[in-house]
Structures are given as structure tokens and as C-alpha cells.
């Protein structure tokens, strides 16, 4: 079943075209990578899907219903959650309190007691259960990345948008993050759209990759095929060798 359909979407900011005529579909429980150099339009596309921005052209459908034009909270309640490239915890709240906010305002909004219980479960899923009482601003970058994922998971999404959750992590932390994403995807039967500059992680996790360049889609396919695609090599390396 097609969960998400992006149909010929464009986005302009004044005289700047950030996205132009981009189309893609994601099937239920699929993990798709979104690849491109800085400025390619990846985060802009995330913002359009999550409702943080509205498209200038085209349509976005979730479970067959248009969502472009809805507010972020309305889209969250439909079942889409996102993380942010720059972590955005409520720094003065505890780790557990941060995750409970997601449980209270997601697609299946819980009562406070239920939210607390589900927050504890999600914190265990991402390996933060021992830090539940710590202030969110005091934990490591790796911990804050996991907190971003936990807060999104607490919304009980059907589609999870992960925006560079491995950026700035060590090789060991990246390996741990890959294993964690696999676990939570399987446990929660998630569909995931992943933006990541750690290409080894993307190649390992994703069954399909979509490549953006200067706001347009230039390639789509299995990871092995994308790694050999001349247009992708040209965009990244300046050569199709």
C-alpha cells in the first residue's frame, strides 16, 4: 500500500527555487533514503511533508488524502513525525518529560498516565531509560540525537522522517544508531524516510534511495545501483567515472 505520495512538488522562497517537480512514493513499512549534497532540497522536502512549510506547486498525499496545507499538529495527528537536523530538545525539561510531550500530542494522543508509561517504553527502545531524569540539555550529542528519535516515536507515527540523526557521531555511535533504528523500525512496524550524509548507514539501512540535486530528482533505485549511477557520480564528484 502506498503510504506517502509526493506529486510534482515545488517550493520557492522568493526568487530561489528550493524544489522543482519532485515526485516520489513510499510504501508501508518501507525504508527509503533521501540523498543529496547540502542545498539539494532534502530538508525542505521534509518540511513540506511535515507541514512546517507549504508547497508552491504539486500535492502531497498521506494514506490517499491530501495533507499539503495542513498545520504541523494536524499532520502529526495523521501519523507523521519528524526529527530535526539540529537537535531541538526542551533543554530545561528532563529526558522523560521531553518524550512525554510527544506521547501527549501524537497520532494517538494519550492520557497523562498512559503517556508516561509509553514514554518509558520508548526511552528503553532508544537506550535512554537510565537518563530519563536528566535534564535534556545536559546529555551528550549522541543522547540528544536519540532523544529526538524517542520524542518522534512517542507520537506513534506511521511515517517517521529522520533528518541526519547520525551527523556528528563517532563510528561506534553510528553503528549503535543503525542497530537501534533497525530495532525500533521492526518493533513499531514503521515506514521511514531517512536523510543522512553517512552514506554507509544509508546504504546499509535503505532498500531504495532517491537522489536530489539542485532541487530536482536526478536518480532513484536500489543502493547498489545508485552508487554506480553516472548522474549521481557527476553531481557528487564532478565526473561520471
Q: Where are the domains of the chain?
A: 2-87+156-237
pLDDT of amino acid 173: 94
pLDDT of amino acid 113: 64
Q: Is 45 left (phi over 0), alpha (psi -120 to 50) or beta?
A: alpha
Closest CA relative to residue 144, chosen from 177, 171, 118, 172: 177
How big is the chain by its Cα radius of gyration, in Å?
Answer: 18
pLDDT of amino acid 118: 87
Phi, psi angle pair for 237, to nearest 5°: -115, -10
**What is the residue-averaged pLDDT of the chain?**
92
Distance, in Å, from the CA atom of 208 to the CA atom of 217, rounded to the nearest integer, reads 14
Distance, in Å, from the CA atom of 212 to the CA atom of 219, rounded to the nearest integer, reads 7
Q: What percent of the chain has pLDDT over 90?
A: 77
pLDDT of amino acid 103: 81
Closest CA relative to residue 217, chosen from 8, 1, 5, 4: 8
Q: What percent of the chain has pLDDT over 70?
A: 95
Distance, in Å, from the CA atom of 181 to the CA atom of 173, rounded to the nearest integer, reads 12
Kindly report, residue by residue over 68-78, the tens digit of the pLDDT: 999 999 999 99
CA dihedral 39, 141, 95, 118 (to 10 degrees): 60
Q: Evaluate if residue 240 carries a pLDDT over 70.
A: no
Question: Cell 510534482 sits at which residue?
Answer: 8
Kindly report, residue by residue over 145-175, the tens digit of the pLDDT: 999 999 999 999 999 999 999 999 999 999 9
Q: Evaluate if residue 237 carries a pLDDT over 80.
A: no
CATH of 2-87+156-237, one of 3.40.50.360, 3.40.50.300, 3.90.226.10, 3.90.470.20: 3.40.50.300
Amino acid at each position: 500500500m502506498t503510504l506517502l505520495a509526493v506529486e510534482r512538488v515545488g517550493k520557492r522562497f522568493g526568487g530561489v527555487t528550493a524544489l522543482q517537480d519532485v515526485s516520489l512514493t513510499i510504501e508501508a513499512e518501507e525504508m527509503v533514503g533521501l540523498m543529496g549534497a547540502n542545498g539539494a532540497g532534502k530538508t525542505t522536502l521534509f518540511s513540506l511533508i511535515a507541514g512546517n512549510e507549504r508547497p508552491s506547486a504539486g500535492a502531497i498525499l498521506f494514506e490517499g488524502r491530501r495533507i499539503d496545507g495542513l498545520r504541523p499538529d494536524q499532520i502529526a495527528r495523521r501519523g507523521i513525525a519528524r526529527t530535526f537536523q539540529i537537535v531541538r530538545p526542551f533543554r530545561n525539561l528532563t529526558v522523560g518529560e521531553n518524550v512525554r510531550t510527544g506521547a501527549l500530542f501524537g497520532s494517538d494522543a494519550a492520557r497523562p498516565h498512559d503517556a508516561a508509561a509509553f514514554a518509558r517504553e520508548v526511552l528503553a527502545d532508544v537506550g535512554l531509560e537510565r537518563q530519563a531524569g536528566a535534564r535534556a540539555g545536559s546529555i551528550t550529542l549522541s543522547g540528544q540525537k536519540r532523544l529526538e528519535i524517542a520524542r518522534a516515536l512517542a507520537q506513534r507515527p506511521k511515517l517517521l522522517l529522520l533528518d541526519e540523526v547520525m551527523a556528528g557521531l563517532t563510528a561506534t555511535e553510528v553503528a549503535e544508531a543503525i542497530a537501534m533504528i533497525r530495532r525500533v523500525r521492526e518493533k513499531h512496524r514503521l515506514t521511514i524516510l531517512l536523510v543522512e550524509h553517512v552514506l554507509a548507514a544509508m546504504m546499509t539501512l535503505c532498500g531504495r534511495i532517491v537522489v536530489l540535486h539542485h532541487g530536482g530528482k536526478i536518480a532513484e533505485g536500489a543502493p547498489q545501483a545508485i552508487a554506480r549511477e553516472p548522474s549521481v557520480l557527476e553531481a557528487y564528484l564532478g565526473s561520471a567515472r
